[in-house]
Chains A and B, each alone.
Chain A
Amino acid sequence: MPQIDPNAIRQGDRLALSRALTAAENGTPASRDIQAALFPHTGKAHLIGITGAPGTGKSTLVNQLVKSFRKADNLPAPKVAVIAVDPTSPFTGGALLGDRIRMHDLAGDKDVFIRSMASRGALGGLAHSTAAFATILDGAGFDLVLIETVGAGQAEVDIARLAHTVIVVEAPGLGDDIQAIKAGILEIADILVVNKSDQPGAENTARALQAMLELSGSNTGSLFTAGKHRTQAQAPASLSPVNDEPAWKVPVLQVTATDGKGVLELREQIETHRKYLLESGMWQVKENQRLKQDLDSLISDLLIERWRLRQDKVAYHDALKNVIERKWTPYEAAESLL
């Protein structure tokens, strides 16, 4: 494997960037050095998550959204990276990554970089190294990083911890108003999009989502504070929202991604949300939370990895045998090994 130069990545060498992403994905030792070199330059990119059920049109929406950002009237147009995650087969370990098919309009634009990613067994809607990808692309100087999750059902909410702005994409006909008040993916939305709004029932879906937002309290973003920042009671002050935080009101937008209707409004809402985060201090709170999360998950990964290296294989198999023969509970077996 040839050496990858972090400076080349900073200067826009796309092959070096691409190789660095592969190194991060495969967890090679070299990738730690690359990330270390890029890390001081990170923290600038706006990370935008796009999630929602399979077939709601996430990739098509990303295609339109990036096009809109790139011809943005507010020049200079931002450099945009897209990370598109698709599922890995739990049976074969293989994956078919098809998000690029919908993003054909972006080909030929040298300031757009699209990378497909297989989830490789991770269950939260992202892959294990998606956060590392975001760091590398941020360090490479991309202004916007759009992260499209696996087609997500109700519980794949990892994107809320990674992205500054989360867009949840719905489509008409996927469920009634009870689906809309269940816990999970709808709670993490900063912006709700009803895609395929040219189809019958779009109006009803938008109304059900709006009603859901109103049910959640005052209709002024209580969802945001009640859902996303539930755990802040025990967090230190630097991880808590600043006082008198002006609440964000989650907008419900109707969009038709196939012809671009409503995409400009979506882009404007994303920019408004970014301003809101910066002015309210929430940007920093989110950054701090994300870095804490990164640190915590890395600690547990490294502890497990180091434990496995030291672990006596015979003892492990004996313990497993005892569990299989119902002599020990799994808990007793784990205690005996640690």
Chain B
Amino acid sequence: MTESKIRVLIAKPGLDGHDRGAKVIARALRDAGMEVIYTGLRQTPEMIAEAALQEDVNVVGLSILSGAHNVLVPAVIEKLRANGLHDVTVFVGGIIPEEDALALKAKGVHAVYGPGTNTQVVVEEIRQAVSHQTA
């Protein structure tokens, strides 16, 4: 009668106000048949983890252009785990230097997407990751 859909939270932690990238990704995921919850600008890690809990999402996408990713991303992951969301796939978009991207992946980020990423690649990788989740 009904079917499950991939639910994605797109959030912008921190203080930068540039949300075009977040909106492009949100739109691409919507067009790929996913349910995308967009939280808007200037979210704290607590707010993002709380929204992810209430919305029971499979995926959290973080858009960061401020350079504060090394602080914000691990904080979000820690709060997600504290809320019991162990299976949620986290990806990051923005201007992230290569060595930082590697460090973030080591801390549990599934993928890091820079400028110019084909949105179809993002869609496919999210589908792949969700199909491996247990919950």
What residues of chain A have their CB less than 8 Å away from a CB belonging to chain B?
Answer: 1-2, 14-15, 18-19, 21-22, 25-27, 88-89, 92-98, 100-101, 104, 107-108, 113-116, 118, 120, 128-129, 301, 305
Contact = CB atoms under 8 A, between A and B. Distances in A.
B54 A98 contact: no
Contacts of A15: 53, 83-85
A101 B36 contact: no
A35 to B, nearest CB: 14
B108 interface: no
A125 B51 CA distance: 23
A27 B3 CA distance: 7
Q: Secondary structure at chain A's binding surface: helix, strand, loop or mixed?
A: mixed
Given A92-B33, A94-B29, A96-B26, A18 B2 contact: no
Interface in B22-57: 26-27, 29-40, 44, 46-47, 50-51, 53-56
A148 B91 CA distance: 30
Contacts of A96: 26-27, 30, 36, 38
Nearest to A109: B50
Contact of A19 (B30, B39, B56, B83): B56
A88 B39 CA distance: 18
B54 A18 contact: yes
A25 B56 CA distance: 11
B1 interface: yes
A114 B40 CA distance: 15
Interface size class for chain B?
20 to 34
Contacts of A118: 5, 35
B30 A104 contact: no
B38 A26 contact: no
Interface string B73-84: 000000000011
Given A15-B83, A108-B50, 8 more contacts: A92-B30, A92-B32, A94-B33, A96-B30, A97-B35, A98-B38, A100-B38, A108-B47
List the 7 closest A-B pairs by CB distance, nearest first: A101-B40, A27-B2, A94-B30, A18-B56, A26-B4, A93-B33, A107-B47
B34 A94 contact: yes
Interface in B1-16: 1-5, 7
A94 B38 contact: no
Given A25-B2, A27-B2, A96-B30, A104 B40 contact: yes
Contacts of A114: 51, 54
B55 A18 contact: yes
Contact of B31 (A26, A94, A108, A305): A94
A94 B2 contact: no
A295 B8 CA distance: 33
Contacts of B53: 14-15, 18
Output the residue of B34, B37, B46, B47 with the most chain A CB within 10 A: B37
A225 to B, nearest CB: 36
B71 interface: no
A97 B37 contact: yes
A113 B40 CA distance: 18
B36 A95 contact: yes
A107 B11 CA distance: 14
B121 interface: no
B135 interface: yes
